[in-house]
């Protein structure tokens, strides 16, 4: 039973993983992530890659919605901006992926700042509608700006390459995605230990009080939009290299809803929530699909509709039983074994 967490130095107190137990868990997670591509097949790695990309995108929307309290329904459009930027730079300028990816994030961040300007005047549902408009405007641009985006047909790009190694299989892309994902998560985790991150939280909790405390609302809100969109652009850029095709139908409104649902289900305002939400939203339909296969080939058509219902019910169930999401469930589970044999 864990009865205390004694520290002798400030560094120990400031560490992200402060207990031996959490460091052991981290070690196990790292070992699993490293071992996974050697035991999984290409389908498993494909799903892992998608999860990694979705984690980055979900963390982005978590920064904006979960931590800063600014709702966005245009996240997929920012992903699209990142993806098209990467494709264009790769095809027309011939830049390597390690330049294209951050530039994709930066262009998405710039667009995010523009979209975020109305957040100074409006919030809540009104901001949701404003970002929704951004989603459709950018969707229109993706479809119509044919010389750059390829229009409705979309555009394709060559595989990412580093040091003569072409990253064109799930195995190689897995490592690229994992590295970017870990860096993105570490940055996000540390962000909320800084003044900027704490300002986000203060704005979310009460923006007027935050302003009275000396927080510049203009700068803080636009920074949140920029960072969130940067993450989306990064995720979109990775998606471009992952599929080697970028088309408008990959970045539609339903993808924005998917990302928002991921952070709601996972737990808003926690890094773990974004991770768990992205895993849940990506994997559960697959798991349910596998379960329908167990009932035999003939039942697939009939059970597919039921699967959608079950997926919806699972989301509703989690929200009813734990509105703070999967992250809170995980926290409760942790508490059970931390104080075992006693009960809460």
Partner 1 sequence: MTDISLSQRILRISRRAALGCALAATLGFAASVSTGAAHADDEIVWGASMPLTGPFAKAGVLGEKGLRAFIGYTNATGGINGRQIKLIAEDSGYVPDKALAIFKQVMASDEKAVVFYGDSTGFSKLVAPELNDRYKILVGGTSFATDLTDEAAHPFQFMPGPSYADQIGILLKYISDNAGGKTPRVALFYSNTEFGRDPIASARATAAKLGIEIVEEIETKPAGVDVAPEVIKLRRAKPDYVIFHGFVTSVWPEVMKQSLQSGVKAMFMGTFWAMEPAIIKKMGPLADHYMGVFPYRYYWDQAESSTLQTMAAVTKAPYLPTYFVQTWFSGMIFAETIKRTLDAGKPLTGENLKAAFNSLQNWDTGGLIGVPVSVRNNSIPVGRIYKGNSATGSLDAVSDWIVLE
Note whether 227 and 65 are within 8 A (CB).
Answer: no
What's the min distance (Å) between Cβ of 79 and partner 1? 12
Q: How far, rounded to the nearest angstrom, does the alpha carbon of residue 317 sit from its chain's CA centroid?
A: 22
Q: Which is nearer to partner 1, 8 or 290 (CB)?
A: 290
What's the min distance (Å) between Cβ of 65 and partner 1? 23
What's the min distance (Å) between Cβ of 315 and partner 1? 12
Query: Which residues are paired to 165 by β-bridges?
Result: 162
Closest CA to 130 of 141, 139, 119, 140: 119
Cα 284–Cα 274–Cα 58 angle in degrees, nearest 5:
90
In order, the DSSP letters of 197-259 are HHHHHHHHH-HHHHHHTT--HHHHHHHHHHHHHHHHHHHHHHHHHHHSEE-GGGS-HHHHHHH
What's the min distance (Å) between Cβ of 88 and partner 1? 18
Cβ burial of 151 (10 Å; 0-12, 13-18, 19+) is middle
Q: Which is nearer to partner 1, 96 or 317 (CB)?
A: 317
Q: Which is nearer to partner 1, 122 or 339 (CB)?
A: 339
Using CA atoms, how far apart are residues 41 and 282, in angstroms rounded to an integer?
Answer: 17
What's the min distance (Å) between Cβ of 337 and partner 1? 14
What's the min distance (Å) between Cβ of 320 and partner 1? 9
What's the min distance (Å) between Cβ of 285 and partner 1? 7
Q: Which is nearer to partner 1, 133 or 314 (CB)?
A: 314
Q: Which is nearer to partner 1, 59 or 247 (CB)?
A: 247
Using CA atoms, how far apart are residues 230 and 103, in angstroms rounded to an integer?
Answer: 9
What's the min distance (Å) between Cβ of 2 and partner 1? 22
Note whether 130 and 121 are within 8 A (CB).
Answer: no
Where does this chain bind partner 1 (CB under 8 A)? 41-44, 46-47, 50, 143, 151-154, 156, 159, 168-170, 243-245, 247-250, 285-294, 297-298, 300-301, 304-305, 307-308, 314, 317-318, 321-322, 329
Q: Which is nearer to partner 1, 231 or 318 (CB)?
A: 318
* CA dihedral sign, ordered 213, 218, 219, 224: positive
Q: Which is nearer to partner 1, 42 or 190 (CB)?
A: 42
Q: How far, rounded to the nearest angstrom, does the alpha carbon of residue 1 sit from its chain's CA centroid?
A: 34
Q: Which is nearer to partner 1, 154 or 233 (CB)?
A: 154
Note whether 108 and 74 are within 8 A (CB).
Answer: no
């Amino acid at each position: 039973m864990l009865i205390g967490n004694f520290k002798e130095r400030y560094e120990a107190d400031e560490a992200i993983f402060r207990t031996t137990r959490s460091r052991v868990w981290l070690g196990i997670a790292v070992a699993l992530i490293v071992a996974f591509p050697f035991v999984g097949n290409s389908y498993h790695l494909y799903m892992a890659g998608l999860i990694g990309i979705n984690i980055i995108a979900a963390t982005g929307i978590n920064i904006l919605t979960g931590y800063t309290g600014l709702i966005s329904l245009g996240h997929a459009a920012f992903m699209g901006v990142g993806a098209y930027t990467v494709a264009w730079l790769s095809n027309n300028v011939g830049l390597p992926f390690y330049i294209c990816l951050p530039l994709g994030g930066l262009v998405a961040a710039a667009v995010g700042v523009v979209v975020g300007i109305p957040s100074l005047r409006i919030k809540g549902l009104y901001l949701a509608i404003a970002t929704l408009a951004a989603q459709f405007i950018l969707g229109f641009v993706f479809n119509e700006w044919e010389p750059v985006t390829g229009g409705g047909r979309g555009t394709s790009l060559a595989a990412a390459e580093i040091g003569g190694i072409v990253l064109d299989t799930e195995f190689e892309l897995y490592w690229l995605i994992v590295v970017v994902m870990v860096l993105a998560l570490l940055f996000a985790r540390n962000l909320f230990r800084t003044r900027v991150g704490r300002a986000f939280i203060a704005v979310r909790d009460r923006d007027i009080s935050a302003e009275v405390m000396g927080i510049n609302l203009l700068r803080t809100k636009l920074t949140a939009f920029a960072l969130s969109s940067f993450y989306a652009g990064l995720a979109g850029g990775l998606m471009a290299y992952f599929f080697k095709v970028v088309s408008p139908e990959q970045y539609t409104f339903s993808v924005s809803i998917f990302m928002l649902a991921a952070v709601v289900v996972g737990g808003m305002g926690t890094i773990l929530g974004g991770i768990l939400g992205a895993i849940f939203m990506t994997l559960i339909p697959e798991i349910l699909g596998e379960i329908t296969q167990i009932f035999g080939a003939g039942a697939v058509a009939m059970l597919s509709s039921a699967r959608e219902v079950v997926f919806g019910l699972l989301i509703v169930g989690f929200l009813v039983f734990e509105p703070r999401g999967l992250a809170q469930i995980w926290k409760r589970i942790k508490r059970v074994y931390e104080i075992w044999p006693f009960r809460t």
